[in-house]
């Protein structure tokens, strides 16, 4: 992803949004917007061009999985790269996210290096 | 309370605090707690269910959590505020996730609820099973915190 691209960070915990924002800045990404759940994220996605979504899984109102499904079902958003953040790697959850079209997932807690690696894997896969 | 649950929570706690806050916490000897008292100034608690059930809490002294969150956010925080409460919830969630990953490898598959945060002097930790719980104490250079685990295998 181009470092000038706009990243949407979705998490119901404001501290986690700040942590991810700081990690992205360490990696050179400056254009970052935030949303506190899936509902707010969809509003952002439908009102401005977003180049990459990093979303928590477990959130009130609308989970990361439901957000992913809505993004993939929306013709104008469906190609948006989507990285899911989870607190665990339960096999069933991973399978469900892959079926829904997630590009990659990352397990909390993570470092800037791991985040960079996951973003790189998505870029490589998408060519 | 089954002792097989202790190590996953101990290891998960060390991993999360190290990765998020760059702090090497020093674990002490676990002990049994029979009352509801919290061993800190602010606590996060999360319910857990699946092939076992119960709850898990993290309780921090004020000095300890201020340092942890300051390190997490890369900015100095000098008093307990909404950022601190938010971070305690997220840390509880992450340690629960890290412990559940380790328990999954042992064949114990669990899911967790959304954590709640309690603060104030003499606040209580009310475990879903009522207790008793195992306390795993940790020391840091800026104060202490504990992991408070109350888990039991489901009756067949």
**pLDDT tens-digit profile of B37-67?**
898 999 999 999 998 999 999 999 999 999 9
Q: What is the pLDDT of residue B122?
A: 87
Are B133 and B148 in contact by the 8 Å Cβ rule? The answer is yes
We report the CATH number of the domain holding residue B59 as 3.40.1550.10
Counted domains in chain B: 1
Q: Which of B43, B48, B50, B72 has its CA nearest to residue B147?
A: B43
Q: Are B27 and B137 in contact (CB under 8 A)?
A: yes
A·B CB contacts under 8 A = 58
Q: Is A25 in CB contact (< 8 Å) with chain B?
A: no
Per-residue pLDDT band for B1 (boundaries 50, 70, 90) equals low
* Cα(A28)–Cα(A117) distance, integer angstroms: 14
**Interval B81-135: pLDDT, tens:** 998 999 999 999 999 999 999 998 898 989 898 899 999 888 999 999 988 999 9
Residue B52: HSE in the Cβ half-sphere, 13 Å Cα cutoff = 20
Nearest Cα to Cα of residue B121 among B7, B33, B37, B6: B37
* Residues of chain A with C-beta less than 8 angstroms from the C-beta of B86: 13-15
Taking 60 as the threshold, does the pLDDT of residue B156 lie above it? no
Model's pTM, two decimal places? Answer: 0.90
Which helix (H) or strand (E) segment holds residue A125: the answer is helix A112-126
In a domain, B154, yes or no: no
Full residue range of the structural domain in which residue A47 is found = 7-126
The reply to whether B156 falls in a domain is no
Residue A50 lies in a domain: yes
């Amino acid at each position: 992803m181009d470092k000038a691209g706009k990243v949407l960070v979705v998490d119901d915990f404001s501290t986690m949004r700040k942590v991810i924002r700081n990690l992205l800045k360490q990696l050179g990404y400056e254009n970052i917007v935030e949303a506190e759940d899936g509902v707010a994220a969809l509003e952002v996605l439908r009102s401005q061009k977003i180049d990459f979504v990093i979303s928590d899984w477990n959130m009130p109102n609308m989970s990361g999985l439901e957000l992913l499904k809505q993004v993939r079902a929306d013709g104008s958003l469906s190609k948006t790269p989507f990285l899911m953040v989870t607190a665990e790697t339960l096999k069933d959850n991973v399978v469900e996210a892959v079926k829904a079209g997630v590009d990659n997932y990352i397990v909390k807690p993570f470092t800037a290096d791991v985040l960079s690696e996951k973003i790189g894997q998505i870029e490589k896969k998408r060519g | 309370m089954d002792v097989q649950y202790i190590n996953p929570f101990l290891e998960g706690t060390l991993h999360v605090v190290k990765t998020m806050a760059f702090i090497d916490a020093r674990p002490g000897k676990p002990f049994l707690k029979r009352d509801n008292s919290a061993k800190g100034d602010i606590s996060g608690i999360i319910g857990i269910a699946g092939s076992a059930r119960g709850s898990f809490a993290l309780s921090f002294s004020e000095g300890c959590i201020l340092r942890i969150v300051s390190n997490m956010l890369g900015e100095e925080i000098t008093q307990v505020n909404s950022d601190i409460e938010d971070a305690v919830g997220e840390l509880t969630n992450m340690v629960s996730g890290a412990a559940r990953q380790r328990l999954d490898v042992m064949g114990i598959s669990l899911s967790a609820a959304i954590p709640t945060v309690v603060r104030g002097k003499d606040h209580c930790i009310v475990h879903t099973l009522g207790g008793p719980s195992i306390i795993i104490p940790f020391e840091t250079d800026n104060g202490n915190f504990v992991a408070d685990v109350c888990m039991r295998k489901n009756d067949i």
